Chain A
């Protein structure tokens, strides 16, 4: 989107749940701004509220203080300007692959629908699979269909909630390349939640590090490596060490000498 669509602005956002009559703070004073067409990743250990934050962006969680704006407008409920890929592919088992991709295109005419389904299945490399059922797909293929379903709606922002978390390590790295390719092709904003630091560095312009209880943004790291990125390069490793430091997982003596 060239005309500056797909920007996200979060200002002083806090959210708490009521647990046993006591408020439990989940997110505390979150401020984050994502520019149009950026790839931003939110990393943090489980329970830091990163998924809640994504659900707020999606419009599934209300009742918070502060502001959450998309293109300057307050988020009220889900909308077709945002697409979502969940960790579980969440394809409807009674629909074929093609029908699943068309799930959000219900209001369109048959012809337009078919065009968009074909286009997006081709985009994720699954043309020819439209009449297969979800149970016949592997985990990686099912997630591709889920991505095609989200993109078919032409969202300005694609939200990804640990989309590759359930895949095996090799498939995951392959899918990371695929996500990058789709992002470069579609030129839309992508915001991904993950706990895989390599994945975050490989894909993002910006890595947002969150810590838990209550969830706060600890640090935002700009990743200015050229693409495609080399997971084994020293720059990559330096950024990784910087992130690990935030989780108190860095080594005090980065170089060990064996004598």
Chain B
């Protein structure tokens, strides 16, 4: 009984998740077509769809998305990997933790975009500067989550590793990292999410390609539909990346007890 009810509730939730945005879009479209609001200020959804289709046809869409994704991947690989390594080192060495811990906590208080002037001064606005900016965004979630995961490896697993004489890299790769993996994967997901936000930010500051560039260009030629289409792209791509990673996470953790059967 209760299970059936929950299933129905789940279905209802899913329907609501589709219906509510549809209602908003319809109201939006209606508001413009009823002349409640100028089309120049609030581009209606159907026009936005047309703009996106035109961008796709001309090839601009793919080109700019790929340009942004390339920056995300390079920045994320660079920042995420260093965050991963620093996180592990900090968790395993109290000495390194004492050195890097306060520094990272202090730097974390600096808003990400406050780095921009400094980066532009030293690195200019070319590709490398963008990679660097994205890398900073990717670094923090990775270092924090890796640190948390590795320092949270239960003592009983450390003991088991000692009993079975696991040392150095074997110990790291067979016991510590697998045990910390749930936390590390969360780090990857957050890190990639922030990378995507920061690549758009970096492109807004000065760029000749990318989704952020599409929006600044739209603004400079006063094409609001381009700006809004860019916004939609940012949202949809970010959502898709998160969705795919969540799916991958589930596949990956088959060994985790399913939630229904979890005992306290």
Given contacts A94-B179, A106-B174, contact A88 B156 (CB under 8 A): yes
B162 close to chain A: CB less than 8 A: yes
Residue of B nearest to A103 (CB): B164
Give chain A interface residues in 126-160, CB to chain B under 8 Å: 133-135, 153
**B219 interface residue (CB < 8 Å to A):** no
Q: Do A133 and B254 touch (CB < 8 A)?
A: yes
Say if the beta carbon of A166 comes within 8 Å of chain B. Answer: no
Contact A79 B255 (CB under 8 A): no
Contacts of B157 in A (CB 8 A): 90, 92
Q: What B residues does A94 contact at CB under 8 A?
A: 178-179, 181, 255
A-B pairs with beta carbons under 8 A, tally: 47
Q: How far is the CB of B112 from chain A (nearest CB, A)?
A: 34
| A135–B259 CA distance with the chains assembled, in angstroms | 11
**Nearest neighbor of B154 in chain A, beta-carbon distance:** A90
When the two chains form their complex, are residues A78 and B174 in contact, meaning their CB atoms are under 8 A apart? Answer: no
Q: Are A58 and B163 in contact (CB under 8 A)?
A: yes
Tier of interface size on chain B: 20 to 34
Known: A60-B159, A106-B170, A106-B174. Is A93-B165 also a contact (CB below 8 A)? no
Per-residue interface assignment for chain A, residues 53 to 97, with 1 indicating a CB less than 8 Å from any chain B CB and 0 otherwise: 000001010000000000000000111100010101010111110
Cα distance A104–B181 in the bound complex, in angstroms = 21
B150-180 interface bits toward A, Cβ cutoff 8 Å, 1 = contact, 0 = none: 0000001101101111100010001100110
Chain A residues near B179: list those with CB within 8 A: 92, 94
A135 touches B255 (CB 8 A): yes
Interface pair A90/B255, CB less than 8 Å apart? no
* Structural contact, B164 and A79, CB atoms closer than 8 A: no
Contacts of A77 in B (CB 8 A): 162
Shortest Cβ gap from A50 to chain B (Å): 17
Task: State A133–B179 Cα separation when bound (angstroms).
Answer: 15
A197→B227 CA distance, assembly (Å): 78
Least distance between B154 CB and chain A CB atoms (Å): 9
Closest chain B residue to A150, Cβ basis: B163
Q: Output the least CB separation between B263 and chain A (Å).
A: 9
Instruction: Let me know if A90 and B156 touch, CB within 8 A.
Output: yes
Q: Please determine whether B159 and A79 come into contact, CB atoms closer than 8 angstroms.
A: no
Q: How far, in whole Å, are A79 and B164 apart by their CA atoms in the complex?
A: 7
Q: How far is the CA of A84 from the CA of B156 in the complex (A)?
A: 13
B169 to chain A, nearest CB (A): 12
Q: How far is the CA of A60 from the CA of B163 in the complex (A)?
A: 8
Residue of A nearest to B170 (CB): A106
Give the residues in chain B near A58, CB-CB below 8 Å.
Answer: 163
How many Å from the CB of A130 to the closest CB on chain B? 14
Partner of B178 from the list A60, A92, A153 (CB cut-off 8 Å) is: A92
Q: How far is the CA of A77 from the CA of B161 in the complex (A)?
A: 12
Please report the C-alpha to C-alpha distance between residue A76 and residue B118 in the assembled complex, in whole angstroms: 55
The complex places the Cα of A58 from the Cα of B175 at a distance, in Å, of 20
Q: From A82, which residue of chain B is reached at the shortest CB distance?
A: B163
- Are the C-beta atoms of A90 and B181 separated by less than 8 Å? no
A107 to chain B, nearest CB (A): 9
- Known: A78-B162, A80-B165, A106-B170. Is A92-B156 also a contact (CB below 8 A)? no
CB distance from A154 to the nearest CB of B (A): 13
Chain A residues whose CB sits within 8 angstroms of the CB of B12 once the complex forms: none
- B261 / chain A contacts, CB cutoff of 8 Å: 135
Instruction: Indicate the member of A88, A90, A94, A153 with the most B CB atoms within 10 Å.
Output: A94
Contacts of A92 in B (CB 8 A): 157, 160, 175, 178-179
Residue of B164, B174, B181 with highest tally of chain A CB at under 10 A: B164
A78 to B157, CA, bound (A): 14
B256 interfacial contact with A, CB 8 Å: yes
What are 5 A-B contacts with C-beta separation under 8 Å? Answer: A78-B163, A84-B163, A94-B255, A104-B164, A135-B257
In addition to A79-B165, A92-B178, 8 A-B residue pairs with Cβ atoms within 8 Å of each other are A60-B163, A86-B156, A90-B157, A92-B179, A94-B181, A103-B160, A104-B164, A135-B256
For the complex of A and B, 6 pairs with smallest distance between CB atoms? A135-B257, A104-B164, A133-B255, A78-B163, A94-B178, A94-B255
